[in-house]
Amino acid sequence: MSDAAVAVLVASGSPAYAAGLAGFLREPPLEPVVAHTTGQALALAAARPPLLAVVDERLADGPGLDLVGTIREAHPSARVLVATWDGSSAAQVEALAAGAVGVVLATWTREAVLEAVADALRGVVRFDVEVVRSLGALARQSVAQHGVLTDQERVVLRLMRQGLTYKEIALRLGVSWHTVRTHAQSILRKLGVHSRRELGGFGAAEGLALAVAG
């Protein structure tokens, strides 16, 4: 393995799509590794922190957008692209809000994917201007209506959206169940919803915009 090698994590619930992306990226100095679940992706990232991750919207065990934030928290220098079939502004807003620097469309050619990867590694954010403006407006509106989430509340929100119980979140974060409940109550109040069940229907872009607004 060369010292100049660039570790690339490819995460997708589709083995065929993951293999295709990895094939596109298997060009020196890029060295892709493939995961199909959140657990596999996190284990590979822990073993060898990636400089770049390409995360599909759908993993075998849940939504890929949740993994984007987890990777960014664990590896702040990593650049993350979201692989999607949907190139609409709404899909781009959700990817941007999750912490990605761009999207990779499933229909793109190898050359287009490599161009997006090269831009990501240079720190270039590849989103339409209108997408960035939309998220900014959404964040300002959310803050005006509800307030800003604290850093700890952002983490708890992400885990709640993954379906973890308060006890599971407490164990994950090393805090008490009562602390998690307090954070959860504050999150629900700031998001303007009344129960955890309503979080499932709360727009990902709106929730994440509020989370990153601070």
Q: What is the pLDDT of residues 41-74, one digit of tens each?
A: 999 999 999 999 999 999 999 888 888 888 988 8
Yes or no: say if 65 and 46 are a contact pair by the CB < 8 Å rule: no
pLDDT digits (tens, 9 = 90+) for 202-213: 544 445 555 444
Residue 154 exposed, middle or buried by CB count within 10 Å (0-12, 13-18, 19+): buried
Mean pLDDT of 143-172: 77
On whether the pTM is more than 0.75, the answer is no
Yes or no: say if 153 and 173 are a contact pair by the CB < 8 Å rule: no
Residue 1 one-letter amino acid: M
Of 51, 49, 15, nearest to 34 (Cα)?
15
Predicted local confidence at residue 205, as pLDDT: 47
All structural domains of the chain: 6-127 (3.40.50.2300), 132-212 (1.10.10.10)
* 181 Cβ contact list (under 8 Å, min separation 6): 166
pLDDT band (50, 70, 90) for residue 93: confident
Of 160, 203, 205, nearest to 183 (Cα)?
160
- Rounded CA-CA distance 35/18 in Å is 8
Alpha-carbon radius of gyration of the chain: 17
Mean pLDDT of 1-10: 78
pLDDT band (50, 70, 90) for residue 3: low
Predicted local confidence at residue 104, as pLDDT: 92
pLDDT band (50, 70, 90) for residue 124: confident
